[in-house]
Amino acid sequence: TATLRSLADARGIYFGCAVDNDEITNSSLAALAGTQCGLTTPGNAMKWFATEPTQGVFSYTLANEILAFATANNMKVRGHTLVWYSQLAPWVTDGVWTNETLTAVMVNHITNVVGYFKGKVIHWDVVNEAFNDDGTFRNTTFYQHIGEAYIPIAFNAARAADPDVKLFINDYNLEYDAKATAMANLVTKLRAQGVPIDGIGSQGHLVVGSLPSTVASNLALLASTGVEVAITELDIRAPTPISATDLAQQAADYTTVVNACLAVSSCVGIETWGISDAFSWIPSVFSGYGDALPYDADFQPKAAREAIAAAL
């Protein structure tokens, strides 16, 4: 049977899956991801806590493990993520900053990390989760000290460090009107100012049977800003253990998301946040939920996997 990556390639998009360092040492997971996924993203290894654990001391050991896995399997890589309020190094979160000092810290971080991975990643999630669900700006460490300007400053620093990599802003709940509208308005405004934003990532952390009717229309709204769009962290969680009804509904929900991407000419790809239910962030964060991915915990294809293949 055709792999998801080959089916996506034939449609001119990628199919990817995130992997983490403790996953690629599992031979079943590694074989599955390497076979089915034409692109990957380190689940954690490129986050600030991992890449600059101490101010000015950069560490790429974990990220390089993922890059070696990607190279061995001929996979492209998305870089994730440069500026995010979560999984920051404690020295950033707990630091005493002014606008000027935190801006210098943020620009130095971006300059080093983007420079190090120049030519090795095709995308960067430059800014992650900048919005609240109501479309207002999330009151993060960066927003508190720098204000909204942290976003264009971050994109300009990333562009200066790598003129070729595509620069994305990434968030969740972009299937919903309030956040999608805020995102589209921000990207339109910043692009009019010449800020180098190349894409919008829609994470796609969804719940079986609860997709809003606006999945496709809001992806199209994001694309109407003129930048690329991508589904970056798709998973569709269910109460565990997943029922037969939910397995079928999950397949239908994956179809909805894949079709939303295929309906937009500037949608460049679809990536799931993991590939097998054996390794997923969902159960530890959403109590009682899981089974969110296309392959089950025994690395066997679920109805969702067949639905993705059929839609592609």
Instruction: Please report how close the Cβ of residue 203 comes to ligand XIL at its closest, in angstroms.
Output: 6
Q: Which of 250, 235, 244, 230 is nearest to 286 (CA)?
A: 235
Size of the site for ligand XIL (CB under 6 A): 6
Q: Residue from 36, 44, 250, 276 that binds ligand XIL (CB under 6 A)?
A: 44
139: Cβ–Cβ under 8 A, 6 or more apart, which residues?
none
Does 148 qualify as catalytic in the annotation? no
Q: Which residues 175-234 are close enough to bind ligand XIL by CB under 6 A?
A: 203, 233
Instruction: Please report how close the Cβ of residue 233 comes to ligand XIL at its closest, in angstroms.
Output: 6
Treating both helix axes as pointing N-terminal to C-terminal, what angle do 215-223 and 244-262 enclose, rounded to 10 degrees? 30
Give the whole-angstrom CA distance, residue 208 versus residue 206: 7
Which of residues 203 and 225 has its CB atom nearest to ligand XIL in the complex? 203
Q: Which residues 127-156 are close enough to bind ligand XIL by CB under 6 A?
A: 128
Q: Residue from 48, 117, 254, 281 that binds ligand XIL (CB under 6 A)?
A: 281
Amino acid at 273: W
Which of residues 130 and 153 has its CB atom nearest to ligand XIL in the complex? 130
Give the whole-angstrom CA distance, residue 66 versus residue 275: 15
Instruction: Please report how close the Cβ of residue 44 comes to ligand XIL at its closest, in angstroms.
Output: 5
Instruction: Please report how close the Cβ of residue 217 comes to ligand XIL at its closest, in angstroms.
Output: 23
CA angle 58, 61, 62 (to 5 degrees): 110
Question: Which residues are tagged catalytic?
Answer: 233
Interface residues with ligand XIL (CB under 6 A)?
Answer: 43-44, 128, 203, 233, 281
